[in-house]
């Protein structure tokens, strides 16, 4: 069946056998639809989990699981004469590539687990929930009310998707959003974003997770939040109100970090209360989408106080220059701050 090429691609991707061209096709398919992405991510999650039990005996009717999977995948994605993979001709019959038996069994185990769980629409019998997706484009914001009564404000160039029934209170975020989560009988609320998982009961917090950035940032306004590497309880931190943390994508690690004015994009305010210049600069770069450098590294620990409503960049820089006795110079698209750090010690 034509569309099962994507399941084969996912299998090759997870087992490290995929080519660069095939990976490009797979990523384009995953990014084209939130349900595709949800299926891909769940396959990856189960693959990761199954790796922990490779030495255990796994018994399942592999052929039955595969046939059932193909049938339901075809119902979700009817064959439409799609293009063959790069470098491949459309075959007359089904070509099965042989893999090491351990990988075959592990891949079949993942498919069987997905079939048994009925986690995504691919395995629906007609009553499973469709995926719902909302997107805010460039210069836009969207305010959403989720099925459980929680509210979300999406920042520009951001997307939120979740199962329509929302029984698990789980959503996927790409970009940035501010969440106000309602409590529901102790049931958790989970956000998956760029390899990080944020779990709460009832609280308000900001999540920034743009694919182009090296970190996922979570800042807590009220309540308590758990931030961790996806599916890894050992890499987890608890953040209280007023605290913030990051997930470093390169290190695959979580840690606490001072993040100032994380929700300024929503409030149109910048409030600095004895905040180190390093955090001030980061806040200004995010808010004004600009580049700022500090020529004298010793200045980064100097504190700044100031409140700005609907601020303008020039207004803030002028205030910084006056109160901290700094020089501000613009070089191409970058503002450079310099001064005597001894004046703030």
pLDDT in tens, 74-118: 555 554 444 445 444 444 444 444 455 555 555 666 565 555 444
Interatomic CA distance for residues 53 and 50, integer angstroms: 5
Nearest alpha-carbon partner for 3 in 24, 38, 29, 21? 29
Enter the pTM of the model: 0.64
Torsion sign across C-alpha atoms 263, 224, 280, 318: positive
What residues does each domain of the chain span? 2-123, 131-256, 267-344
**Distance from CA of residue 44 to its chain's centroid?**
15
**What pLDDT is stored for residue 314 in this prediction?**
95
CATH of 131-256, picked from 3.40.50.2300, 3.30.230.10, 2.60.120.1440, 2.40.50.140, is 2.60.120.1440
Token pair in block for residue 223: 């309540």
Instruction: Grade residue 34 by pLDDT with cuts at 50, 70 and 90.
Output: low
**What pLDDT is stored for residue 264 in this prediction?**
96
> Does the pLDDT of residue 262 top 80, yes or no?
yes
Are 191 and 197 in contact by the 8 Å Cβ rule? The answer is yes
Interatomic CA distance for residues 276 and 132, integer angstroms: 41
Lowest mean pLDDT among 23-27, 28-32, 127-131, 225-229: 127-131
> Does the pLDDT of residue 177 top 50, yes or no?
yes
Are 197 and 229 in contact by the 8 Å Cβ rule? The answer is yes
CATH of 267-344, picked from 3.55.50.30, 3.40.640.10, 3.40.50.11690, 3.40.50.300, is 3.55.50.30
At 183 the three-state DSSP class reads: coil
Are 137 and 156 in contact by the 8 Å Cβ rule? The answer is yes
Q: What is the average pLDDT score of the chain?
A: 80
Average pLDDT over residues 295-303: 93
Listed in sequence order, the DSSP H helices in 188-229 are none
Let me know the angle formed at the C-alpha of 229 by 226 and 235, rounded to the nearest 5 degrees.
75
Interatomic CA distance for residues 179 and 150, integer angstroms: 7
Higher pLDDT, 87 or 268: 268
Contacts of 77 (CB under 8 A, 6+ apart): 3
> Does the pLDDT of residue 123 top 50, yes or no?
no
Torsion sign across C-alpha atoms 104, 106, 111, 115: positive
**What pLDDT is stored for residue 40 in this prediction?**
77
Token pair in block for residue 109: 């185990």
**What pLDDT is stored for residue 23 in this prediction?**
82
């Amino acid at each position: 069946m034509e569309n099962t090429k994507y399941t084969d691609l996912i299998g090759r991707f997870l087992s490290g056998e995929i080519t660069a061209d095939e990976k490009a096709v797979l990523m384009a398919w995953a990014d084209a639809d939130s349900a595709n992405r949800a299926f891909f991510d769940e396959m990856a999650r189960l693959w990761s989990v199954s790796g922990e039990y490779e030495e255990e005996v796994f018994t399942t009717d592999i052929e039955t699981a595969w046939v059932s999977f193909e049938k339901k995948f075809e119902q979700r994605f009817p064959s439409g004469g799609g293009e063959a993979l790069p470098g491949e001709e459309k075959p007359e019959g089904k070509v099965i590539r042989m893999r090491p038996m351990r990988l075959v069994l592990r891949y079949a185990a993942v498919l069987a687990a997905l079939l048994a769980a009925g986690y995504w629409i691919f395995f629906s019998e007609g009553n499973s929930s469709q995926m719902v997706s909302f997107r805010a484009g460039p210069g836009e914001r969207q305010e959403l009310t989720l099925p459980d009564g929680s509210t979300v404000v999406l920042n520009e160039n951001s997307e939120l998707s979740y199962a329509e029934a929302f029984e698990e209170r789980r959503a996927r975020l790409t970009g940035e959003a501010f969440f106000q989560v309602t409590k529901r009988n102790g049931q958790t609320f989970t956000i998956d974003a760029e390899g990080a998982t944020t779990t709460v009961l009832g609280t308000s917090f900001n999540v920034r997770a743009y694919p182009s950035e090296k970190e996922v940032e979570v800042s807590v306004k009220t309540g308590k939040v758990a931030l961790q590497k996806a599916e890894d309880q050992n890499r987890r931190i608890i953040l209280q109100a007023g605290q913030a943390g990051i997930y470093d994508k390169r290190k695959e690690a979580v840690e606490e970090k001072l993040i100032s004015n994380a929700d300024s994009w929503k409030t149109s305010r910048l409030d600095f209360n004895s905040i180190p210049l390093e955090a001030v600069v980061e806040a200004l770069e995010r808010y004004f989408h600009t580049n700022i450098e500090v020529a004298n590294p010793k200045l980064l620990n100097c504190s700044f106080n100031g409140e700005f409503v609907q601020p303008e960049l020039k207004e803030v820089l002028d205030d910084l220059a006056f109160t901290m006795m700094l020089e501000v110079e613009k070089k191409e698209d970058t503002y450079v701050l310099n001064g005597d750090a001894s004046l703030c010690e």
